[in-house]
Amino acid sequence: MKKTWWKESVVYQIYPRSFADSNGDGIGDLAGITGKLDYLKELGIDVIWLSPVYQSPEADNGYDISDYRAINPKFGTMEDFDRLLSEAHARGIRIVMDLVVNHTSDEHAWFVESRKSRTNPKRDYYIWHDPVDGHEPNNWGSCFSGPAWQYDETTGQYYLHLFHKKQPDLNWANPAVRDAVFDMMDWWCRKGIDGFRMDVISLISKPDGLPDFPTDGGLYGGWYHCANGPHVHEYLQEMNRRVLSKYDLMTVGECSATTIETSKQYANSEGTELSMTFSFDHMGLDGGKDYKWSTKRIPLVPLKKVMSDWQTGLDGKAWNSLFYCNHDQPRIVDRLGSTDPKYRAVSAKCIATSLHLMQGTPYIYEGEELGMTNYPFRSIDEFRDVESINAFKELTEKTGISMEELFPKIAAKSRDNARTPMQWNAGPGAGFTTGTPWIGINPNYTEINVESELKDPDSVFHYYQKLIRLRHESELICYGHFELLLPDDPDLFVYRRYLEDGRELLTVCNFAEHGRTLEIPERFRDGRVLIQDIPGHDVKDGTLKPYEAYVIEKV
Ligand code: GLC
Ligand code: CA
């Protein structure tokens, strides 16, 4: 396996508007982030993935970009960005930018031109189509509810938007679009950034002829049938040749509906496309009949299978990213652990252990290192996310589901759960802001916050810090092969990692809220305990407490 820095790194994702507010307007900003770099240094992470900070009308919190080369004034200025970059670099922390190029904002200059006339030079920057029998050109549904086509009066045609109608899809089949995107990427690279996280990059090549999709996606219209389209690898190879290969970058493609087979190509070890992908098989396990909206929890046995399939499937051929959390996912403690104060912290550590000992590059999402939890939503007006708000409307109207039944489902899975402010201390505004936060602060900030966790040697924070340190020190953790043990055990997530030279470790995580027994294989009995989440408990005595987790390396 070829070694590179990004295979040995741990990434920390920042959602800028919710991280740290430096000027009291209730919105996190770049200066706020710069002020917290020492905190991130202490945690030990190597790379920051910055969610979008570009100019944007914010129909989708910045994932709708109106100028790729300008900073949203709410977040600061380009000088603030440059300062963040140089201060991060001074601390040995790299910065990876979010690259949102499946679509732009409808307020981007390209789209403003494009919609003016059918003959505008920018017309083919986007995907325009005549009405078919007076309707949308096909049955595609948007990811944020409703059809994926918007009729535009000016020219009497529809444009495609797989997401919000303020997020028109770029036409990647047009070489001028590729030139413009690559040029912009090169501009950021020359600024000295360290890579890109590529938003929904698996969707950029639309199926030839824009055919109707099977309606198995229910209300969500099967937009994911757009994934891995006919020319996506060609486009990424061109991007790689023309931009990525000229710099030493880390690239991660958010790949909706990718499979192990397609990821082997996207993240191939020859390096002709991307460094790694985000896949979502594991995040889809607690969905329901209407897409993700469900109060179901992630079931352990299927989770183990999905993770193990990806671990062994990509081993030696491509590279995994390891994540349970991001700005689109509810908090993992709620999905897989316990929010009961008695078990919250230990379950957060158990969850972290199960992920951070795998092969791949781990991602930590802001607040995950504190064991932050979902927000206790009580009413619809507490939601900010366009996806949740639209889903309420569409599902009640179209499926007849009652509000009483729907509310807990959306509350459980809303992306807003991840977007509540970072909890820095127990003071007013949780130390996030001196003003009124743009979204509610989780009331548990008085107990769960950075300041108290920094003081507590047994905190979730210090556990993450140790997991990161272990990875930095261990070739076995970074590069070892993976084998799942006890695949059918309903409580225990157990696996081993090993290298050809005989180095080997065992990871054991008890996801049950009751005690368990487990006989440790002979060869690990004299092993070295690398980490354990219940300090002082003899992990070799064959018993496991609720959410107990440990890692033993053979000596
Ligand atoms: C990605 C982003 C998500 C955004 C969507 C459209 O899935 O992670 O936040 O809404 O793409 O850009
Ligand atoms: Ca601010």
Mean pLDDT of 254-267: 95
Which of the ligands is closest to the CA of residue 29? 2
Residue 98 beta carbon below 6 angstroms from any ligand 1 atom: no
Tens of pLDDT, residues 127-147: 999 999 999 999 998 988 889
For residue 100, which atom of ligand 1 is closest to its CA? Answer: 12
Q: pLDDT at position 502, please?
A: 97
pLDDT surpasses 80 at 221: no
Ligand 2 centroid – CA 194 distance (Å): 25
- The number of beta carbons lying within 10 Å of the beta carbon of residue 104 is 27
220 pLDDT band, cuts 50/70/90, is: low
Cβ pair 102, 203 in contact under 8 A: yes
Ligand 1 centroid – CA 289 distance (Å): 22
**Residues with a known catalytic role:** 199, 254
Q: pLDDT at position 23, please?
A: 98
Calculate what percentage of the chain has a pLDDT beyond 90.
94
pLDDT surpasses 90 at 288: no
Residue 200 beta carbon below 6 angstroms from any ligand 1 atom: yes
For residue 327, which atom of ligand 1 is closest to its CA? Answer: 9
Report how far residue 472's alpha carbon sits from residue 359's, in angstroms, rounded to the nearest whole number.
13
Residue 60 beta carbon below 6 angstroms from any ligand 1 atom: yes
For residue 415, which atom of ligand 1 is closest to its CA? Answer: 9
Q: What single DSSP character describes residue 132?
A: B
Task: Give the mean pLDDT of the chain.
Answer: 96
Spell out the alpha helix ranges (H) of 315-370. 332-336, 344-356
Tens of pLDDT, residues 146-196: 899 999 999 999 999 999 999 999 999 999 999 999 999 999 999 999 999
Ligand 2 centroid – CA 57 distance (Å): 16
Residue 352 beta carbon below 6 angstroms from any ligand 1 atom: no
Residue 328 beta carbon below 6 angstroms from any ligand 1 atom: yes
Residue 163 beta carbon below 6 angstroms from any ligand 1 atom: yes
Report how far residue 331's alpha carbon sits from residue 371's, in angstroms, rounded to the nearest whole number.
8
Report how far residue 333's alpha carbon sits from residue 375's, in angstroms, rounded to the nearest whole number.
12
Q: Which two tokens stand for residue 405?
A: 């039944």
Residue 199 beta carbon below 6 angstroms from any ligand 1 atom: yes
Which element (helix H / strand E) includes 365? strand 361-365
pLDDT surpasses 90 at 423: yes
Ligand 1 centroid – CA 213 distance (Å): 21
pLDDT surpasses 90 at 219: no
pLDDT surpasses 70 at 217: no
Q: Tokens 């008890």 identify what position?
A: 510
Residue 368 beta carbon below 6 angstroms from any ligand 1 atom: no
435 pLDDT band, cuts 50/70/90, is: very high
pLDDT surpasses 90 at 479: yes
Ligand 1 centroid – CA 212 distance (Å): 23
SS3 content of the chain, % helix, strand, coil (to 5): 35, 15, 45
Q: pLDDT at position 290, please?
A: 81
Q: pLDDT at position 470, please?
A: 98
The per-residue DSSP string of 148-213 comes to SEEEETTTTEEEE-SS-TTSPBB-TTSHHHHHHHHHHHHHHHHHT--EEEETTGGGSSPPTT-PPP
Ligand 1 centroid – CA 428 distance (Å): 31
Q: Tokens 């444009």 identify what position?
A: 159
216 pLDDT band, cuts 50/70/90, is: low
Residue 375 beta carbon below 6 angstroms from any ligand 1 atom: no
Tens of pLDDT, residues 340-397: 999 999 999 999 999 999 999 999 999 999 999 999 999 999 999 999 999 999 899 9
Mean pLDDT of 270-299: 95
Ligand 1 centroid – CA 200 distance (Å): 7
Q: Please, what is the Cα angle at 295 between 292 and 300, to 5 degrees?
A: 85
Residue 547 beta carbon below 6 angstroms from any ligand 1 atom: no
Residue 63 beta carbon below 6 angstroms from any ligand 1 atom: yes
Report how far residue 45's alpha carbon sits from residue 495's, in angstroms, rounded to the nearest whole number.
25
Strands 361-365 and 321-322: parallel
Mean pLDDT of 199-208: 96
Give the dihedral of Cα atoms 36, 40, 42, 43; nearest 10 deg. Answer: 140
Report how far residue 183's alpha carbon sits from residue 160's, in angstroms, rounded to the nearest whole number.
24
Ligand 1, pocket-test mutation among 18, 56, 328, most atoms within 8 A of CB: 328
Which of the ligands is closest to the CA of residue 435? 2
pLDDT surpasses 70 at 308: yes
pLDDT surpasses 80 at 218: no
Mean pLDDT of 57-79: 98
For residue 163, which atom of ligand 1 is closest to its CA? Answer: 6
Ligand 1 centroid – CA 411 distance (Å): 19
Q: What predicted TM-score, i.e. pTM, was given to this entire model? A: 0.98
pLDDT surpasses 70 at 413: yes
